[in-house]
Amino acid sequence: MSHDLPPAAEARMAEIRRSGTWGSALTSDEFAAIRSVGFGAVGQVLGAAVYNVGYTGGYGCPGAWGSYGYGNSWGPPARTQVSSRGGYGSFGPLVQTMYQARRTAINRMVEECAELGGHGVVGVRLSIGQFPTGGLEFKAIGTAVRAPGAPSLKRPFTSDLSGQDFAKLVMKGWMPAGLVLGISIAARHDDWMTRGQTTWGAGNAEVAGWTELVNDARHDARTQLTADVKRLGAEGVVVADMEFHVRERECPAREGSRDHIVEAVNIGTAIVRFAAHTERSGAPPLAIMSLDPQRRQAARVNIGANRR
């Protein structure tokens, strides 16, 4: 018995094994696609975790130490605070919780896959929802698949690719290594320069502070994603989902001022090569018949002329 699965999940896995049947979250096209590359579905698998998000960080002003104390109107420009770098006003604790909660859900889904004898999970969907009594529910759901006759894996793979995309990957000589995440939250105080660039009289001009905020958040999320790929020992990543959210709040340190906060989340499938792929050469040309009757008549005339 696995020590990582809740008792309800253990009971559900046992029932699936006894019944001799399987369920899936695949469409008929996805099912046909994975069958075409030698895999079959063994059951729908789920991982869930409910987290109470307490201390998130980010309670201070992100520009407090760059603007002569809590956003002085004419001080030096504020600096963007990024979660991975820490610092005053950083949301590092919240990001660490988001990583931990998602990975807990993914690990429980993988445990269910292993309990069913699967080699991996395809079509994984990660979601976050409000729990009715407080907290957040992190959920991972997908379809466990198996290649009959293949040896068991030390850890089943996970992938958010559709069944069709998974089949294309396998046919090209690649396999999923696992889901990878890149999460970043960046915050910036709206300093005197930002406020000046967003007034009506500024005209059509770049808001340098907001550009820096967006670029820093996106860059940090991609850096974290790359680190996750290396952690799995994979060669690359296929990114299927890139979320980006912007919100503003009243500055907690200076009345009448605003802060902007950006959350960037990249989710993808890390991949590794298992076979060299060679393109077919010398493939026969396709015969195409036109639906235009005049063109068909012209073709018949040309064929008759060539026979003389």
Q: Which pLDDT does position 211 carry in this prediction?
A: 92
**Cα separation of 157 and 45, whole Å?**
13
Q: What Å distances lie between residue 52 and 92, 98, 135, 247, CA to CA? A: 16, 11, 4, 22
| Mean pLDDT computed over 142-169 | 92
Q: Which pLDDT does position 91 carry in this prediction?
A: 85
| Mean pLDDT computed over 61-80 | 55
Which residues are within 8 A (CB) of 137 and not within 5 positions of it... i.e. 6 or more apart?
48, 49, 50, 128, 129, 130, 131
pLDDT at 99 over 50: yes
Least confidently predicted of 12-21, 45-54, 121-130:
12-21
Q: Which pLDDT does position 103 carry in this prediction?
A: 94
pLDDT at 165 over 80: yes
pLDDT mean across residues, the chain: 82
Q: Which pLDDT does position 1 carry in this prediction?
A: 40
Q: At what angle do helices 7-19 and 92-115 cross, to 10 degrees?
A: 30
Record the pTM: 0.77
Q: Which pLDDT does position 184 carry in this prediction?
A: 94
Q: Which pLDDT does position 302 carry in this prediction?
A: 55
Give residue 198's pLDDT band: very low, low, confident or very high (50, 70, 90). Answer: confident
Q: Which pLDDT does position 238 carry in this prediction?
A: 94
Q: Which pLDDT does position 78 carry in this prediction?
A: 64
Q: Which residue has the tokens 């080699």?
A: 119
pLDDT at 154 over 50: yes
**Cα separation of 126 and 179, whole Å?**
10
Least confidently predicted of 92-101, 194-203, 209-218:
194-203
Give residue 293's pLDDT band: very low, low, confident or very high (50, 70, 90). Answer: low
Which residues are within 8 A (CB) of 207 and not within 5 positions of it... i.e. 6 or more apart?
194, 197, 198
Q: Which pLDDT does position 255 carry in this prediction?
A: 79
Condensed to tens digits (0 to 9), the pLDDT of residues 24-59 reads 788 899 999 999 999 999 989 999 999 987 767 767
pLDDT at 181 over 60: yes
pLDDT at 66 over 50: no
**Cα separation of 237 and 244, whole Å?**
19
Q: Which pLDDT does position 231 carry in this prediction?
A: 93
Least confidently predicted of 14-23, 98-107, 267-276:
14-23
For the chain, domains (ranges, CATH) are: 7-273 (3.30.110.70)
Condensed to tens digits (0 to 9), the pLDDT of residues 211-265 reads 999 999 999 999 999 999 999 999 999 998 889 999 998 887 777 888 899 999 9
Q: Among 102, 81, 259, which Cα is nearest to 184's? A: 81
